[in-house]
Amino acid sequence: MPEFIHDQTHQDWLRSQARAQFEFFAASINPDGGFYVLDAKGAPLAFTTQELHTTTRLVHSYSLGKQAGFAGSDAIIDQGVRYLWDGHRDADHGGYAWGVGPDGIQDGRKLAYGHVFVLLAAAAATHVGHPDAAKLLDDIDGILDQHFWDEDAELFVDEYSQDWSQLLPYRGMNANMHGVEALLTAYEVTGNDKYLTRAGRILAFFFDHMAPTYGWRLPEHYSANWTVDVEYAGDPMFKPAGTTPGHSFELGRLLLQYWDLSGRTDATAIRKARCVIYRALEDAWNKTDGGFAYTLRFDGTVDVSNRYWWPLTEAIGALAALMKVDPQPVDQKWYNDCWTFAQKHFIDETGGWIPEIDADGKPDATQFAGKPDIYHAIQGTLLPLVPGVSRLYEEVEGAIT
């Protein structure tokens, strides 16, 4: 592995990895609408339910691909924007359904998690000039304002029934973290200060209040009044019990992106990001075999030891950000260790990352069917290729050509 993140051999390798990922997931297009989930070799799995986060993430990822120079990006972007509007959008009640299929809406819940990804996709499509992006952005902006943004709490609420008549009391970090991601991207694309301001308010809650109180670990689950619910255990993929170190990596990187966009005025931002990122690195890394545990208890001990691809990609992105703004020798060591482990266990010659490994480091399939979408791995690959920690859509232009 390279001594420095900007080593030319490493950069060339990252470009080849990005191209391989874009080529692999280009087969996701379903001619009947939406996208297939692909199996280990890239063949479509039987189409059942199209979930909102998959549609939106492909639009975002291939908008990055278009900027970076991947020639097949427009087909994915077109398919995704069209399916968001004609498939996921609830024509009767407004908003975007979580799950749709050949016969229409299959899971009509209105989730903040899914809706902030619609904002991300709309901003991405706007940046690359998609002709239908403006109406999508205008629609999702209004929905987030009307239903999800809680001005008193300065955070997003989480889940409604399909017709908006019932707001569940659960509140969560995951939707708000991805909300920050989408808000920052929307700010970069539109220049609307509302997005930057809201991102800052969310980050302040987690970094100024939650993280210091909980030993720089980030509680995931909250009650309606935003008190921590230490007993909560929900969907094992989206709302598992305890804390999720992969989210600490993501939110730490997003804090640095916000700090950069807001003029680098907060002298504590790098320290807070580093504290959260390194707490997760040190707690979750399997010191015997490598890789990151999926979830931790509140004292930092391992709860779910399963090792997935996505926390590793997020650690890479977070470390790359730290190395750009506050490089320390230990950052390079962790960065190298993460890529070494990825090459040994997760990076597949077909181009899509293996999503899960068992206790022996072999591919497993207890949580995921086939290979999930490109989103996490492509960001982990592209982020080290660009010089900055914000405005990825601009900085990635021509990166893989």
Burial class (CB in 10 A: 0-12, 13-18, 19+), 316: buried
pLDDT tier for residue 1 given thresholds of 50, 70 and 90: very low
Q: How far apart are CA 12 and CA 22, in angstroms?
A: 16
Flag whether 2 is in a domain.
no
Flag whether 322 is in a domain.
yes
Flag whether the pTM goes above 0.95. yes
Of 137-141, 226-230, 367-371, the poorest mean pLDDT is in: 367-371
247 assigned to active site: yes
More confident residue, 366 or 336: 336
Cβ proximity of 357 and 364 under 8 Å? yes
Q: What's the Cα-to-Cα distance from 84 to each of 56, 66, 99, 207, rounded to whole Å?
A: 8, 19, 11, 33
* Confidence (pLDDT) at 4: 66
Burial 273-307 (b: 16+ CB within 10 A, else e): bbbbbbbbbebbbeeeebbbbbbbeeebebbbebb
Flag whether 400 is in a domain.
no
More confident residue, 359 or 145: 145
Longest dimension (CA), the chain: 56
Residue 385 has pLDDT above 60, yes or no: yes
376 assigned to active site: yes
* 3-16 per-position pLDDT tens digit: 568 899 999 999 99
Residue 387 has pLDDT above 80, yes or no: yes
Q: What is the average per-residue pLDDT within 173-191?
A: 98
The one catalytic residue in 10, 115, 130, 376 is: 376
The one catalytic residue in 60, 221, 247, 345 is: 247
Domain that holds residue 40: 8-395
AA identity, residue 40? A
* Confidence (pLDDT) at 367: 87
Q: How far apart are CA 370 and CA 367, in angstroms?
A: 10
AA identity, residue 309? W
* Structural tokens at position 14: 């990252």
| DSSP tag of 44 | B
Q: What is the average per-residue pLDDT within 151-155?
A: 98
Torsion angles phi and psi, residue 306, rounded to 5? -55, 140
pLDDT tier for residue 217 given thresholds of 50, 70 and 90: very high
Residue 36 has pLDDT above 80, yes or no: yes
The CATH number that applies at residue 146 is 1.50.10.10
* 288-321 per-position pLDDT tens digit: 999 999 999 999 999 999 999 999 999 999 999 9
Q: What is the average per-residue pLDDT within 28-43?
A: 94
Question: Total domain count for the chain?
Answer: 1
* Structural tokens at position 131: 């002709």
Of 57-71, 174-188, 350-364, the poorest mean pLDDT is in: 350-364
Q: What is the average per-residue pLDDT within 57-83?
A: 98
